[in-house]
Amino acid sequence: MPDTALVIMARYPQVSTTKTRLARAIGNEAAILLYKAFLTDLAYKFAGHNADLYWAYTPSRVDYADFMASLAPSLAQYMHYFAQQGADLGERLLDAFQHMYELGYKRTIVIGSDSPHIQQDILAAACQELNEADVVLGPADDGGYYLIAMCQPYDVFRGILMSTSRVARMTIELARSQGLKVSTLETLFDIDELPDLERLEQLLRADSSPAPATAVLLSKGIHKGLTGDHKDLTWVGF
């Protein structure tokens, strides 16, 4: 059993709850298909590698294992699942760390599902930094963070209003106020709005390997209102 857990915070894609800011620009169907591609890319990138992969999903009533098996059938045996618990994102993040700690993992890395282009070397860097730091953050360029890693479930979430431009800075301040050592990784970007998606398109046009399923949909112009048969993502060649 690996001593590191990778937890991906994810949703079951549904109209009105999935990538809502992006959906306002490109439509609900396109946003849902792109989100499925994000999940597919993350699964193929991280399942069965150096860390045990867990999907922390919402809403709790869905069969997320069955859903992910439909996106990445060859990886079903390498993926684990638990429902998110908590009244807000901060509580759900803390619960994820507590859950992994109780399962016996020495290190837990939590990422969102909004950065399908995140690479394996980022996770390796987080593990390395945890040899010295109590909290490792991967800052996003909108002021939030795309990754947080800890060896123990420190509460560095309480009282922080998520989805603001001050989240990363406030998290660092809260951690340091508890006497915790904080380390930061390179800055990446999340895909929340159309300009973010256009930025990702440019990145993947140059090199599709970080997110091949997403690259296929973007190359077909799904975010530009073009039509085509995008219903089945399992055809993407991995």
Calpha distance 25→31 (Å, rounded): 9
Task: Please give the residue range of the domain that contains residue 51.
Answer: 4-235
Which pLDDT score is estimated for 230? 43
- In sequence order, what E strands does 32-180 have? 52-58, 79-83, 107-112, 135-139, 145-150
Q: Which of 32, 187, 26 is nearest to 113 (CA)?
A: 32
Q: In CATH, what number is assigned to the domain containing residue 79?
A: 3.90.550.10
Q: Is 231 helix (H, G, I), strand (E, B) or coil?
A: coil
The predicted pLDDT at position 34 comes to: 95
Query: How far lies 63's CA from each of 46, 59, 144, 150, in Å?
Result: 21, 9, 29, 28
Which one, of 74, 18, 13, lies nearest residue 43 by Cα?
A: 74
- Three-state SS for 110? strand
> Which two structure tokens, joined as six digits, stand for 77?
């045996």
| 8 Å CB contact between 125 and 148 | no
Average pLDDT by stretches of 10, the chain with 238 residues: 94 88 90 96 94 97 96 96 96 98 98 95 97 97 95 95 88 97 96 93 96 94 59 40
For residue 168, give the nearest of 176, 115, 55 by alpha carbon. 176
pLDDT the model gives residue 227? 38
- Amino acid 225: pLDDT: 65
Q: What's the pLDDT at 130? A: 98
Looking at the structure of the chain, the number of domains it has is: 1
**What Cα–Cα distance (Å) separates residue 56 from each residue in 8, 40, 157, 160, 201?**
6, 15, 17, 20, 27
Enumerate the β-bridge partners of residue 11.
58
**Prediction pTM value:** 0.92
Rounded-to-integer distance, Cα 193 and Cα 216, Å: 19
